[in-house]
Amino acid sequence: MANFFSNLFGVDDEYNEQEEYYDQTTSTNATTNVRNSKVVPFDSSNRSSTSTPNSQIDLVEPRLYGDAREIATQLLDGKAVIVNFSQMDANTAVKVVDFLNGAIFAIDGEIKRIGEQIFLCTPRNFEVAGKLAATLKNMGQSEM
């Protein structure tokens, strides 16, 4: 009698159970792969042709030593900063430059003097080329 039921229902039930089991395993693995995936799709449709450029240069005239933190934050945000120390006393300006040197070292950036009291601080994604100081010096001599 058991054989009769096995022949009548057993083959179809086993096939359906195997099929259902296989489907469940496949969907579980697909869900696991999506959760563990660290690849983020790049969707170029979010970018418009009139979008703002990725690189930005800010001009800052610090007056207090505390302004150095704001400049460092801008560097950490990937912005280049031109720092004009004309509004600051020389001793405090030296301390700010020392602070900025540490911040720039941490982000693998550069600091360059481009004028008597003006420095250009750039993060890693900027490249500074040319010799602006020599150009400025030559311009000053030609105006005399």
Task: Give the strands of the sheet with 57-60, arranged side by side.
Answer: 57-60, 80-84, 118-122, 110-113
Looking at residue 12, its pLDDT comes to 52
Task: Report in angstroms the alpha-carbon separations of 135 from 6, 10, 56, 65, 118.
Answer: 95, 91, 23, 30, 15
* CATH T-level assignment (fold) for domain 57-126+133-143: Translation Initiation Factor IF3 (3.30.110)
Query: Which residues does 122 contact at the CB level (< 8 Å), separation at least 6?
Result: 75, 80, 81, 104, 109, 110, 111, 112, 128
**What 3-state DSSP class applies to 82?**
strand
Report angle CA 61, 136, 59 to the nearest 5 degrees. Answer: 20
Per-residue pLDDT of the chain (144 residues; tens, 9 = 90+): 666 656 656 555 455 555 555 555 555 555 555 555 455 444 444 444 444 456 788 999 999 999 999 999 999 999 999 999 999 999 999 999 999 999 999 999 999 998 899 999 999 888 877 776 566 566 555 443
Domain boundary assignment for the chain? 1-36, 57-126+133-143
d(CA 62, CA 86): 9
Looking at residue 144, its pLDDT comes to 38
77, 103 Cβ separation under 8 angstroms = no
Looking at residue 46, its pLDDT comes to 45
Q: In the chain, where does DSSP find H-type helix?
A: 2-5, 11-36, 67-76, 90-106, 132-143
d(CA 88, CA 101): 18
pTM for the predicted model, two decimal places: 0.55
